């Protein structure tokens, strides 16, 4: 059993770097697609972290941007034209701004999507501690993440949301949450017990609650993706979350990003030019 735990810890440590991706400056990358037929285009800019950039499904352009990302898949739906796709793996609420993502936004932006917040709370450290560490390490890491999520993240989200609203004053802004990473009803996974997996999922629920509340304060639309991922955790036989042996550990698979796309597309409904006036 000791050897098994040591092996599990070693496997988890090898993917910490993938979970805590280093995000540099996010330069604007124009999509360059033609407007959809049947009406005026909806000018769309996509911001955020690795869950917005499509990290986990290579090949990648700059900042871990993938053609499997939900912003790319939304291009052409609802008359949406993806203008600037600047989401960057590793982005936090602070580096999203300092890295230049807000430069993609202007008065002509009709639609913005944004996924950010997970990197601000040290989420990867809790996943690593619970899957590869001791019970005490898992409990401590979860407590620290929870304290950051409830004590620090709301103000960080309020600040970045205000800057997004100011940079794109006419835009409809859609904020997505994060999925639960595990199917805790399927038993233990690596060094984590079912209770510890449930604790990680509860921490994801708290993170999503803070993001949802901050979105409401800003007048943004929040999209919850958790139900679409039910039964498809990293430890599921039909996983939509990549496991610890993958370079994109604990990011969505291609199917997972399709679930993100479906959730946002369903939430958007019919859109038209000037949709942003209905934030």
Positions marked catalytic: 50, 251
State residue 45 phi and psi, 5-degree precision: -120, 135
Helix, strand, coil percentages in the chain from 3-state DSSP, rounded to 5: 50, 10, 40
Q: Is 30 helix (H, G, I), strand (E, B) or coil?
A: strand
Helix 2-13 and helix 123-132, axial crossing angle in degrees, nearest 10:
160
Strands 42-48 and 80-85 turn out to be parallel
User: How far from each other are the two terminal CA atoms of the chain, in whole angstroms?
Assistant: 54
**What's the CA angle centered on 113, arms 107 and 115, to 5 degrees?**
135
Omega prior to 59 cis, within 30 of 0: yes
Q: Is 189 helix (H, G, I), strand (E, B) or coil?
A: strand
Residue count of the chain: 279
271 Cβ neighbours under 8 A, 6+ residues apart: 42, 78, 79, 80, 110, 111, 172
């Amino acid at each position: 059993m000791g050897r098994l735990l040591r092996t599990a810890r070693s496997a988890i440590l090898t993917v910490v770097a993938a979970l805590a991706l280093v995000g540099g400056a996010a330069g604007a990358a124009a999509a360059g697609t033609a407007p959809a037929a049947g009406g005026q285009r909806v000018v769309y800019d996509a911001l955020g972290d690795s869950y917005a950039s499509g990290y986990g499904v290579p090949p990648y352009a700059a900042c871990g941007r993938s053609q499997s990302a939900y912003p790319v898949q939304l291009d052409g739906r609802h008359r949406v034209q993806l203008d600037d796709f600047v989401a960057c793996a590793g982005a936090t609420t602070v580096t999203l701004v300092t890295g230049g993502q807000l430069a993609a936004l202007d008065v002509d932006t009709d639609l913005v999507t944004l996924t950010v917040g997970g990197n601000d709370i040290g989420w990867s450290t809790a996943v690593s501690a619970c899957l590869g560490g001791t019970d005490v390490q898992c409990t401590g890491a979860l407590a620290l993440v929870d304290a950051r999520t409830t004590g620090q993240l709301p103000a960080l989200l309020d600040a970045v949301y205000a800057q997004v609203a100011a940079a794109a004053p006419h835009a409809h802004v859609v904020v997505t949450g994060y999925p639960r990473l595990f199917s805790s009803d399927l038993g233990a996974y690596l060094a984590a017990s079912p209770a510890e997996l449930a604790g990680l999922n509860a921490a994801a629920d708290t993170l999503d609650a803070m993001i949802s509340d901050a979105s409401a304060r800003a007048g943004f639309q929040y999209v919850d993706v958790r139900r679409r991922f039910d039964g498809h955790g990293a430890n599921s036989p039909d996983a939509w979350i990549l496991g610890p042996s993958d370079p994109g550990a604990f990011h969505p698979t291609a199917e997972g990003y399709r679930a993100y796309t479906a959730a946002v597309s369903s939430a958007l409904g019919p859109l038209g030019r000037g949709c942003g006036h209905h934030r």
